[in-house]
Amino acid sequence: MNYLLLTIFVYGFCTSLSISAIECNEPYTPCKDGLQCVRPEYLCEGYNDCRDKSDEDVDFCKAKECVGSQYAKCRNGIQCVYLISFCDGFNDCPDQSDEDEDFCKANICPEGVVKCKDNLQCVDSLELCDGVHDCRDNSDEDQDLCRATKCDELYVKCKDGLQCVHSTYLCDGDNDCRDKSDEDEDFCKVHNVESISIVEDVHEPR
């Protein structure tokens, strides 16, 4: 073997050694090329994280179970998406099966999440009557519903009796209630106790 061939052989051997040397710490998984490590929740979630795209390989993903109980497979059996992403009004599965009408009609929203009036979309219960339209049919901000809705703990009803705002937003200098009542001097006095007790919890004692 001449010198040049020997040099190429040794160089090639060392390069292959350094490539295969990568080790992934728990819970990371190596990509197929052995050059990168990825977190388990990044496997088969629809985005390429490995440069060789092996984390989204169709055959690999079809055979792979989703990580943990908070994920479920799209209908195509390939990608895993968060349970709360099913019927949330946004397409998360590439085959759009997470927003399929028949599926969402029969779907029961997870705990802490409620169905819009259309019986299709699930929104967080804290998004009811928060002044922002979250349901496509706007039913989360329906006036009759909001008038009858009791605000969640730590939330306060605006003077209009419709909107709930977090008590830390009271008297903070920004208008959060549509009717601006959260910055109304008299309204602040009425709710003063709650807003002060929360502020004290956040700050370190001096």
In angstroms, what is the minimal distance from the CB of 55 to Ca ion? 4
**Is residue 169 at the binding interface for Ca ion, with CB under 5 A as the rule?**
yes
Is the CB of 17 or the CB of 117 nearer to Ca ion? 117
N-to-C CA span, the chain: 78
Contact window for Ca ion (CB under 5 A) among 17-25, 60-68, 103-111, 179-187 = 179-187
Q: How far apart are CA 52 and CA 33, in angstroms?
A: 7
**Is residue 47 at the binding interface for Ca ion, with CB under 5 A as the rule?**
yes
Helix (H) or strand (E) holding 59: helix 58-63
In angstroms, what is the minimal distance from the CB of 140 to Ca ion? 4
Distance of CA 154 to the CA centre of its chain: 22
Is the CB of 57 or the CB of 182 nearer to Ca ion? 182
**Is residue 42 at the binding interface for Ca ion, with CB under 5 A as the rule?**
yes
**Is residue 185 at the binding interface for Ca ion, with CB under 5 A as the rule?**
no
Q: Which of residues 102-141 bind Ca ion (CB under 5 A)?
A: 127, 130, 132, 134, 140
Is the CB of 15 or the CB of 53 nearer to Ca ion? 53
**Is residue 172 at the binding interface for Ca ion, with CB under 5 A as the rule?**
yes
Residues 6+ apart with CB under 8 A from 143: 162
Q: How far apart are CA 28 and CA 153, in angstroms?
A: 39
Q: How far apart are CA 142 and CA 117, in angstroms?
A: 10
Are 38 and 50 in contact by the 8 Å Cβ rule? The answer is yes
Contact window for Ca ion (CB under 5 A) among 2-10, 20-28, 58-66, 173-181 = 173-181
Is the CB of 14 or the CB of 154 nearer to Ca ion? 154
Q: Work out whether strand 122-124 and strand 155-157 pair parallel, antiparallel, or are unpaired.
A: unpaired
Helix (H) or strand (E) holding 71: strand 71-73
* Footprint of Ca ion (CB under 5 A): 42, 45, 47, 49, 55, 85, 88, 90, 92, 98, 127, 130, 132, 134, 140, 169, 172, 174, 176, 182
